Amino acid sequence: MAPFNQKMAPHDLKLINKLSEIALNIRKNSLIMTTKAGSGHPGGCLSCADILAAIYFHQLRYDPEKPDWEERDRFILSKGHAAPALYAALAMAGFFPTEELLKLRKIGSILQGHPDMRKTPGVDASTGTLGQGLSIGVGMALAFRLDNRPNRVYVLLGDGELDEGQVWEAAMSAAHYRIDNLTAIVDYNRQQLSGCIEKVMNLEPIGEKWSAFGWHVIKIDGHNMKQILDALDEAERVRGKPTVIIAYTVKGKGVPMLEKSFLSGDCKYHGTPLSEAELAKALEELHG
């Protein structure tokens, strides 16, 4: 199989529909996986599903037959608790059989509770303790630039994760070293484990923060596939500085019950899966 890269495709309706369909599949699998595992973080999987679909089925250069291919782009899920969504994307991309998905969090599984680069083909960094992914991405980007290699690095951050000081250490160093082969994406669903962002730890003005740290900032609707694709393209064109895409998203996106629950300020489904009965209903209602 040829290395997977459909970047030449125009952002037409056909592509957008295809990616939205994939995102729906990521959502569906994330819900099933977490319910079957009996634990996990469904809310934050659903908010980043569209981004993951765009990354893995349009943006990233990789070869599922050769997960360690040196020329591949790298993707780091710094918000490692959205691992089920990543695993669903990787399985669909062909890194491992989809049957593995139901073994999530079980003893002996290649799918750990949080991403593990030594156990799961296609995972580029071991994460799960928040705040380290952007630094790892900076290191990769520096290495590729040093070797004059075209590889790009993508890092998906949670918004609650931005509370971690290390994220800003990394942000400062990426700008200082004028790294432009790195794109950060913030899944800005405005909910963290114990409540909404503005109550727990306000991040606003979020765009100004990144821009003050020397980053090119793009704000988008993180569920609008065309906006996601355009932003990823724009990020690739920016020279001499890193780019952050602040993706405004909805926690629990696609499942009315979850969206309503998060909107009401109840963060139960940040770290609790749906019951079997809730899952059946959610799968019926699931939309893009």
Partner 1 sequence: MAEKLSGTRDAYGETLVELGSENRNIVVLDADLSPSTKTILFAQKFPERFFDVGVAEANLVSVAAGLASAGKIAFASTFSVFGVEKTLNQFKQSVAYPNMNVKLVTTHGGISVGEDGSSHFCIEDIAVMRSLPNVTVIIPADAVETRAATRAIAEKSGPVYMRLSRPKTPQIYEDGYKFQGRDLKFEIGKSITLIEGGDVTILATGVMVAESLQAAQELARRGIRAGVVNFHTIKPLDKEAILRAAANTGAIVTAEEHTVLGGLGGAVAEVLVEEDPVPMARVGINDTYAESGPWRELFAKYGLTSADIVKAAEKVLKRKAK
Query: If binding means CB under 8 A, how many residues of this protein chain bind partner 1?
Result: 34
Q: Which of 132, 189, 243, 261 binds partner 1 (CB under 8 A)?
A: 132
Q: Which of 135, 183, 191, 261 binds partner 1 (CB under 8 A)?
A: 135
Single out the residue of 155, 126, 157, 159 nearest to residue 242, CA to CA.
155
Least separation in angstroms between residue 12's CB and partner 1 is 34
Name residue 116's amino acid: D
Phi, psi dihedral angles at 229 (to 5 degrees) = -65, -45
Contact call for residue 120 and partner 1 (CB under 8 A): no
Secondary element (H or E) of residue 4: none
DSSP string, 153-210: EEEEEESGGGGSHHHHHHHHHHHHTT--SEEEEEEE-SEETTEEHHHHS---SHHHHH
Contact call for residue 107 and partner 1 (CB under 8 A): no
Contact call for residue 170 and partner 1 (CB under 8 A): yes
Interface with partner 1 by CB under 8 A: which range of 90-98, 112-120, 255-263, 274-282?
Answer: 112-120
Q: Which of residues 52-91 bind partner 1 (CB under 8 A)?
A: 70, 74
Choose between 70 and 99: whose C-beta lies nearer to partner 1: 70
Contact 125, 79 (CB under 8 A): no
Q: Which of 30, 59, 120, 127 binds partner 1 (CB under 8 A)?
A: 127
The span from the CA of 78 to the CA of 66, in Å, is 23
Contact call for residue 128 and partner 1 (CB under 8 A): yes
Choose between 118 and 237: whose C-beta lies nearer to partner 1: 118
Q: Which of 116, 163, 221, 236 binds partner 1 (CB under 8 A)?
A: 116
Contact call for residue 169 and partner 1 (CB under 8 A): yes
Choose between 71 and 198: whose C-beta lies nearer to partner 1: 71
Eight-state DSSP code of residue 115:
-
The span from the CA of 6 to the CA of 34, in Å, is 30
Q: Residues 140-159: x/- map of binding to partner 1 (CB under 8 A)?
A: xxxxx-xx---x--------
Up-side HSE of residue 205: CA atoms within 13 Å toward CB?
7
Contact call for residue 139 and partner 1 (CB under 8 A): yes
Least separation in angstroms between residue 170's CB and partner 1 is 5
Name residue 165's amino acid: G
For 166, 206, 244, the CA distances from 219, given in Å and listed in that order, are 22, 10, 8
The residues binding partner 1 (CB under 8 A) are 70, 74, 116-118, 124-129, 131-132, 135-144, 146-147, 151, 165-166, 169-170, 172-173, 176-177
